């Protein structure tokens, strides 16, 4: 398995969940996972607003990615397929400048 593949990353997160028995210890409860993701977003924000080193930002984003992958495990959905399905939808949308920044949305 390619070290950089989605499957390899997913397997590493699954092994981490198994090692710490997340399923039976509350670590796969979705409200808890959402709270952890919000916490990580706060840490990412702090890195950006406080001008922390790129390495610190990368570590916090990696924490968020691990939580997202773990949420796919906990909720039992195929994140890889969901990603590609969503990219197909996004690629059909038009972009618009909103307050001077590009936004790609359905604009309903």
| 73 and 88 co-located in one domain | no
d(CA 59, CA 51): 14
| 1 and 53 co-located in one domain | yes
pLDDT tens for residues 48-79?
999 999 999 999 999 999 999 999 999 999 99
- Which among 88, 78, 84 has a CA at the least distance from the CA of 10? 78
d(CA 106, CA 6): 28
| 33 and 82 co-located in one domain | no
DSSP 92: T
pLDDT at 3: 77
H-type alpha helices, 50-97: 54-75, 79-90
The mean pLDDT value for 33-37 works out to 98
| Containing structural domain, residue 56 | 1-77
d(CA 78, CA 81): 5
pLDDT over 90, % of the chain: 94
Separation in Å, CA 25 to CA 19, 20, 22: 11, 8, 5
pLDDT at 39: 97
| 18 and 4 co-located in one domain | yes
pTM of the model: 0.90
pLDDT at 2: 77
| 66 and 24 co-located in one domain | yes
| 73 and 83 co-located in one domain | no
| 50 and 85 co-located in one domain | no
Domain count, the chain: 2
| CATH of residue 52 | 1.10.287
pLDDT over 70, % of the chain: 99
Q: Which residues pair with 95 in a beta bridge?
A: 104
């Amino acid at each position: 398995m390619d070290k950089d593949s989605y499957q390899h990353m997913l397997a590493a997160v699954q092994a981490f969940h198994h090692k710490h028995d997340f399923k039976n210890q509350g670590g796969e409860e979705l409200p808890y996972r959402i709270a952890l993701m919000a916490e990580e977003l706060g840490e990412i924000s702090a890195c950006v607003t406080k001008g922390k080193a790129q390495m610190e930002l990368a570590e916090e984003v990696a924490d968020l990615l691990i939580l997202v992958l773990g949420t796919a495990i906990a909720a039992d959905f195929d994140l890889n397929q969901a990603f590609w399905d969503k990219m197909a939808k996004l690629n059909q949308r038009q972009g618009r400048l909103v307050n001077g920044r590009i936004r790609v949305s359905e604009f309903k």
